Structure 1
Amino acid sequence: MSGAVIFDPLLPWPVLWALVALGVAMVALSLWRGLAGWWLRGLAAATVLLALANPALQREDRTPLSDIVVLVVDESASQRISDRPDQTARAVARVEAEIAAMDNTELRVVRLGDGDGNEGTLLMTALSEALAEEPSARLAGAILLTDGQLHDIERAPDLPAPLHTLLTGHDTDWDRRLIVKNAPAFAIIDEEVTLTLRIEDQGAVPAGLGGDAELSVAIDGQEPQTFRVPVGQDLELPVTLGHGGRNVIQFRLAAAPDELTERNNAAVVQINGVRDRLRVLLVSGEPHPGERTWRNLLKSDSAVDLVHFTILRPPEKQDGVPVTELSLIAFPTRELFLDKIDEFDLIVFDRYKRRGILPMIYLENVRSYVEEGGAVLVAAGPDFATADSIFRSPLADILPATPTARVIEDGYRPAITDLGQRHPVTEGLKAAAGGDWGRWFRLIELEPVGGQVVMSGMDERPLLVLDRVGEGRVALMASDHAWLWNRGFEGGGPQLELLRRLAHWMMKEPELEEEALSAEAEGQVMTITRRSLAEGARSVEVTRPDGETVTLDLEESAPGRFTATYEGPEIGLYRLSDEEMDTVIALGPAAPREFEETIASGDKLSPAVEATRGGLLAVEDGVPDIRTVREGRLAAGRGWIGITPREAYLTADVTILPLAPAWAFLALAALFSLGAWLREGRR
């Protein structure tokens, strides 16, 4: 129970205070005039004013509420190294026992794991959320059990009670970590790019530890190379990417004796390899409607450098025009096909036929160019079926089909073969175009001798044949009527998309490889894709960073495409293999924030703790006792921390009674007035 006197004046307070001033003035006047009953007059006025103030006695029935102490337990990744989990468990048990032994006090335990993505330890966010669920009037204190490595100190809340920190870890802890200071997301293939690395030692580094460390570097999961590198200095590492698409580079430091953890001894960098400028040589045998189609396709790509020659004046053309009056450019055959042929990524022969312009030795050089990694696309016209065909040259050794000398001039709709449904060049092409394709009206009859037929014409005759020759690639299109699609004839067709895919496949773009094993990561979940022209069940073996292996069965999600998803249990490099192909993928950030700083330290938390006069103590020195202290006093000392009792309560009932009835005030005021009259009259 609790009681208090309250006032509910019958007149507004300004009026009441004016009456008080008037009463004081009258009493002062009486005293000045020497009236003997001045003090009785003052009592009478005070009694009237008290009655006007309407005093009442308020009694409250209160239910005491317990004090609350919040304990935030940091269970992030950096708290799971060394013996910190045991230290944490012992400290939690001791705090729970101490609070349980205190009267009228409750403990709220909040456990904090790793933040989403790479946010790090959000310790203050967890504390703020815990405080938001409790009445501030009952908060007696807050305790943080952590290694002090948090990443949201700017979110520290204002506390009405002491804040304490219990630090895990040991004074003798030390750690070595690898830092990737600079790594580009993209780099040009076959051009050197520089990565900046640094090796740092933290904490109580043992005396006599060498000034260098052993660093191994592995690209795309290949055999690593090992180097001795200095510690504490920036290291410039030149790297040259050998292929397009994702290149995974893994760095790993050899473990040092007694270091705190090896989790930050490795880093993974993923760089996408891109071509600087794709150089394409387009040789048109003669002007025709489809010539501009090829030119527009290649010129529309800003990353393509196109060299285009059209043979307008073949050697057999003799019309008597003086050479000095011709404005034509001589075909630089030697420069293009001997000196600089290796500089081109793709050579396109568009309706080209032998006219003596390119000697056989030049065409032999083209064949060697393909076998050594180049690419040739032949867009065949009617001349391909004649005796002057480019097939009647050294290129016959690399072309995947033989002409039968028959040219079919009839309408047909190009179709995707069963194999073409699985090949990335033509996969999904029908669905992407929407509706039926327009007809073509010319087809050079071919007899395949190798490669894959991905498109067919009338009566399932080969229309587009793809093949790999040595290190290079060859494509043969048995028609020169692709331009009809570009003109929208009978609705047209996916001409630009087909030719774009074809050109990029020949230039070995990774996303168009017909046999490929790849993986894409989103958080800790990877999506594995296996593309293959072969049919049948597929599986892949996943090797985790800890060396454990898991076998996953792949499901055919589309013709030639097998997929599966897998959630990695930890961050790091995962190796994928299906006995035919291998790849690697990194899950999680290249350098997790949780392991950037692993040495326990209270530097970040000191300002917030000192602002509440709390304490910062090490768990290795023993878990401190918990005492009660008065508000505003120092709340920590050697071996102890304090909480502030709040004495909060819940009001269950309120009773208000007048201090005295109105007639009592009136009678008392009259009695004082009568006494003043009698005293002054008798005098």
Structure 2
Amino acid sequence: MNERWSLAAGHVPESIVLVLLAVAVLMAVGEGLAAFRRPRAPVARRVAAGLLALRLAALGALLAVAFELTLRVEQVTPAGRRLVVLVDASASMALADAEQEGDEPQSRQARLEAAWQRSADARVGWRDDGLVVEVRGFDLGSRPYTGELAETLAVQPRGEGSDLARALGELSQPEPDRAPLAGVVVISDGLVAPDPAADAQVRAVAEGLGVPVTTLSAGAPHIRDVSVAQVRAGEFAFVENVVELEAEIVAHGLSGTATTVELRRNGLPVASQSLRLGADGVPSEVRFEVAPDRVGQFVYEIAVPPQPREATEANNTRAFVVKVLRDKVRVLHVAGRPDWDVRALRTLLRRDPNVELLSYYILRGLDDIAREDTTAALSLIPFPTDELFEEQLGSFDLIILHNFDSVLHQVEQYLDNIAQYVEDGGALVLIGGDLAFGDLGYALPELAALLPVDTRTRAPLEHEPFRPSLTEAGRRHPITAWLATADEGWAQLPALDDHNPLSTNPRGETIGAATLLSHPDDTDPRGRGRPILAVAEPGRGRTMVLSTGSTWRLGFAPDLPLIDGARPYDLLWLSAVRWLLRDDSSGRLTLETDKPRYRVGETVELQAKTWSAGYAPEPGIAVSWSLRPLAPGPDGQPAKALAEGQWTTDGLGRAREALQELPVGAYVASARRELAEGAVSADDADGLGEHEVRRVFIVEPPGRELAEVDADPGITRLAALAEATGGEALSAVDGDALPRRIPLTEPQADRDGLRVDARRDLPLWNGWVALLLLLATFGGEWLLRRRQGEP
């Protein structure tokens, strides 16, 4: 035990005091030195030296009082050096492997614990040598092991990864109150670097510590396992377009085994391939080509069936989320006669490369057919009503009947098919004109109930220019919201030529009907402006009625203003098409997750939002929600709900739910809102805008931790790490134990690593000693000066 002395200041005066004190000390010392240097006799010089000594002693006493100096006496002993043991706690340590093929496999964790017990004597010896032994577990981070855990290392290895570089890097942080690092021991299977770049990082961090790193490998060379090691798939796909999904299957101990690789969508198989597993560690490529048949968000899985005595089944599947989008929108556009409005809409739709347009002009009616010679060479083809409205009706995403008389053109008998098409999720647009609403052609009850206007009364075309008024619902609706942001609204746009004087559907509230544009002067019997543009959401479909055939003027009038760089006509119709086809921004109820993939232990946040028919946030709406596994139950029915509840949306129409501690798997979250006539379910997996919406997501197992299970690369990696840092490479499979004389850095002969066993503080400024010293020094100098006749 050694004694260490030091001075400690208990008080530091303010800046102005320090300046004054420094000036006074310098003046006193300077004057004393000047007096000492004056020529004197030998005896007088000894007196001058005594005067200088008394002055310096007095100044020292004054400074001790000013700074409240304390003499600190510490009893110190060498604290020894620190040896850190890093123990792998990742999921791969739970795998079982064997030294020889055919031997009974043993888990790497059990092998690690046995090697640690064999090293008990060595650990006692380390402490006897004064080493401070610190045990830490690591996976994606590190944490200390204490007490019994540090003596046994008995843990359940479940970590999601093995970030050895981070664990080593934490040891390089300066810690002045701790013993200096002298060595590191790493006990692991060595699967700590998924690629060469990470491997180089681990070695660089270890070498940067400047201490030997001894490694103890817990893995064995023989393991039975098959894994889906890697999947290559895009996040997006297009409906009816072939997309390739590729995977690498890696096997160990199963060379030549025949198996089947299966592709599943939302838990149900969609394709499979036969595969004969290759040699150990050699990846086998599997490629699936699928053409998604519907729009939506889907969880795909590539899976390999478990093999007998396989080390783990956690890596036999790999799930990923694919969002399927529309590639081309199929639109049927049927016009009663060609005119400028028909031409404008047809040109706009044909210009869009994502639209597959099928367009027909009706150039002859029943009278023309009756007197026409159908055998003539220039005879027009008959309008294919059966093919369009019966055979292929369901293949269209959008149907536009443009100034079309269903009676005149013999389509009235198919209106019930069109009504069913809308209820099943189709989109229908009716555009006015002189042929459209004058003869009750759309009065069929099944269809009339789905429209936002009343088509059970005649509404012949009226020719009177006008500028529509934007309603409150129109200010918020995706189709017309752009008008609300324009400087002068419709006032800056051309007037429209004509309109059909329609009334709103008396039961419009039951189908979410809303009038977006109304006539400024012409009113219905209830005193409301007649609808010019109205929309509804019946069943799972959407309908729109435009009671004028002159919107083409929004694209071709002279001095036409541009809004955000686009023609008003383009804005109106492109917004309408997006809404009709249920673009992501047009849903009345939306449900989202903050991301499509989660790690085990992460919180999943569901976020719902409700909108009114006028697309204002709708508060106070009851929304029921549930969460269930995506895969169906044994009976083929949806799995039992894991969680469910009821939301009431806040003032902004929002609701949230946090889901925690979900196990690995694929899940579907659904939300459902009640409408005036009950809820309507949706089969569409995307579900946006439906009254029942769904979102799928996956909770993944420990990352890529189990994608690589063979211990051979890990054994090589640990041996190279030990060699590069001057440590020793050991193997638990060979029965090695940690050595009593473990490689360490040489101790440094400096003050680092001293432990304070006792401390005693002696105040130099407080008490009678300090007062006596001040009086003796200042008084002694004064008396001596008087005797010598000094000033």
The TM-score bracket by the shorter chain reads 0.5 to 0.7
Cα separation, 2, equivalents of 1:272 and 1:413: 39
Match of 1:465 in 2: 535
Partner of 1:502: 576
Give, in angstroms, the shift of residue 481 of structure 1. 6.4
- What is the identity, as a one-letter code, of the residue corresponding to 2:606? I
- Where do residues 423-434 of structure 1 align in structure 2 (5 Å cutoff)? 429=481, 433=485
Q: Residues 396 and 541 from structure 1, CA distance in 2 versus in 1: closer, same or farther, beyond 3 angstroms?
A: closer
1:444 to 496, 501, 519: 501
Alpha-carbon offset, residue 432 of structure 1: 7.8
Distance 1:215 1:460 in 2: 63
> 1:520 and 1:344, CA in 2 relative to 1: closer, same or farther beyond 3 A?
same
Alpha-carbon distance in 2 for matches of 1:257, 1:211 = 11
1:219 is displaced (CA, Å) by: 1.8
In 2, Cα distance between equivalents of 1:358 and 1:99: 101
Aligned counterparts of 1:548 and 1:352: Cα–Cα separation in 2: 49
1:268 shift after superposition: 0.9
Q: Structure 1, residues 231-283: CA drift from partner, whole Å, max 9, x if none?
A: 34433333331221322113444433432222212211222212232233434
- For the Cα contact (< 8 Å) 1:98–1:625, is it kept in 2? no
Corresponding residue of 1:663: none
Contact 2:267 2:630 in 1 (8 A): no
1:267 aligns with 2:318: yes
Q: Which runs of 5+ in 2 are unaligned?
A: 2-75, 97-106, 143-158, 279-283, 369-377, 520-527, 613-619, 632-639, 673-680, 682-691, 754-791
1:72-129: CA deviation from partner (whole Å, max 9, x where unpaired): 333334346675556666767868944752423233445433379x995331243134
Residue by residue, what CA displacement relative to the aligned partner does 1:636-681 show, whole Å, maximum 9, x if unpaired? xxxxx533443442289xxxxxxxxxxxxxxxxxxxxxxxxxxxxx
CA contact (8 A) 2:500 2:547 kept: yes
- Matching residue of 1:608: 721
Q: Give the superposition deviation at 1:195.
A: 2.4
1:189 is displaced (CA, Å) by: 1.1
Give, as a single letter, the amino acid of the residue that structure 1 aligns with 2:578: H
Q: Work out the CA distance in 2 between the residues paired with 1:622 and 1:200.
A: 29
1:455 aligns with 2:504: no
Give the letter for the 1:231 counterpart.
Answer: L
* Alignment match of 1:72 (pick from 70, 83, 86): 86
The separation in 2 between residues aligned to 1:607 and 1:66, in whole angstroms, is: 29
How do 1:131-170 residues align onto structure 2 when only pairs under 5 Å count? 131-133=172-174, 138-151=180-193, 152-155=198-201, 156-157=203-204, 158=207, 160-170=210-220
Asked if 2 retains the 8 angstrom alpha-carbon contact of 1:63 and 1:651, the reply is: no
Q: Which one of 532, 535, 545 corresponds to residue 476 of structure 1?
A: 545
Which of 697, 709, 732 does residue 586 from structure 1 map onto? 697
| Counterpart in the other structure of 1:106 | 132
Q: In 2, are the aligned partners of 1:416 and 1:454 still within 8 Å (CA)?
A: no
Query: Structure 1 CA distance, aligned partners of 2:752 and 2:304?
Result: 64
Report the Cα distance in structure 1 between the residues aligned to 2:125 and 2:433, rounded to whole angstroms.
Answer: 91
Q: Give the CA deviation at 1:332.
A: 7.6
* Mapped contact 1:268–1:590 kept (Cα < 8 A): no
Q: Per the alignment, do residues 354 and 560 of structure 1 end up closer, same or farther by CA in structure 2, a change over 3 Å counting?
A: same
Change (3 A) 1:488 1:334: same
Q: CA deviation at 1:445?
A: 1.8
For residues 260 and 366 of structure 1, the distance between their equivalents in structure 2, rounded to whole angstroms, comes to 58
Q: Which runs of 5+ in 1 are unaligned?
A: 2-61, 319-327, 629-640, 653-683
Alpha carbons 1:398, 1:474 under 8 Å: kept: no
* AA partner of residue 649 (structure 1): D
State the shift of 1:148 in Å. 0.7
Moved more, 452-461 or 153-162: 452-461
Judged with a 3 Å threshold, the aligned counterparts in structure 2 of structure 1 residues 362 and 578 are, in CA distance, closer, same or farther, namely closer
Counterpart pick for 2:649 among 546, 550, 556: 556
* Contact kept in structure 2, 1:163 and 1:608, CA below 8 Å: yes
CA–CA separation in structure 2 for the residues paired with 1:194 and 1:371: 34
The whole-number CA distance in structure 2 between the counterparts of 1:560 and 1:358 is 46
Residue 464 of structure 1: how far off its partner (Å): 1.6
- Which of 398, 408, 412 is 1:346 aligned to? 398
Shift of 1:226: 8.2
Q: Distance in 1 between matches of 2:486 and 2:335?
A: 31
- Name the residue aligned to 1:325: none
How high is the TM-score relative to the length of structure 1? 0.65
Rounded Cα–Cα distance in structure 2 between residues aligned with 1:623 and 1:531: 62
| 1:120-135 matches, cutoff 5 A | 120-133=161-174
Query: What's the counterpart of residue 650 of structure 1?
Result: 751
Relative distance call for 1:108 and 1:565 in structure 2 (3 A) is: same
Partner of residue 432 from structure 2, selected from 380, 385, 394: 380
2:626 aligns to what?
Answer: 541
Shift of 1:165: 1.6
Find the counterpart in structure 1 of residue 454 from structure 2: 402
SS in 1 for 2:225: strand
Counterpart of 2:535, as a letter, is V
Write out per-residue CA displacement over residues 431-475 of structure 1, whole angstroms, 9 at most, x where no aligned residue: 984788437875632352663303353627654233457x86543
Q: 2:59 aligns to what?
A: none
Distance 1:429 1:624 in 2: 75
CA distance in 2, matches of 1:293, 1:68: 82
Where 2:627 maps in the other structure, the secondary structure is strand
Select 2:606's aligned residue among 522, 525, 528.
528
Asked if structure 2 preserves the Cα contact closer than 8 Å seen for 1:67 and 1:648, the reply is: no
Q: Are positions 1:212 and 2:258 aligned together?
A: yes
RMSD: 5.3
Cα shift readout 1:143-199 (whole Å, capped 9, x = no counterpart): 112221112211113254322222234555432212454323332212343423343
Give the alignment partner of residue 298 of structure 1, picking from 322, 337, 349.
Answer: 349
Equivalent AA in structure 1 for residue 577 of structure 2: A
Q: Does 1:231 align with 2:277?
A: yes
Change (3 A) 1:594 1:489: closer
Give 3-state SS (helix, strand or coil) of 2:330's partner: strand
Q: Could you tell me how far apart the structure 2 residues matched to 1:624 and 1:290 are?
A: 88
CA contact (8 A) 1:553 1:564 kept: no
Aligned length: 562
Conserved in 2, the CA contact under 8 Å of 1:315 and 1:355?
no
Residue matched to 2:763: none
Partner SS state of residue 609, structure 1: helix
SS class of match (2:172):
helix
Q: Which amino acid aligns with 2:458?
A: A
CA positional deviation for 1:597: 0.9
CA contact (8 A) 1:348 1:378 kept: yes
Select the residue among 458, 466, 471 that pairs with 1:415.
Answer: 471
- Contact 2:406 2:412 survives alignment (8 Å): no
Q: Any residues of structure 2 matched to 1:247-266 within 5 Å, and which?
A: 247-266=298-317
The structural deviation recorded for 1:554 is 3.9
Task: Return the alpha-carbon distance in structure 1 between the equivalents of residues 695 and 262 of structure 2.
Answer: 17
Asked if structure 1 preserves the Cα contact closer than 8 Å seen for 2:271 and 2:288, the reply is no
Specify the alignment match of 1:673 in structure 2: none
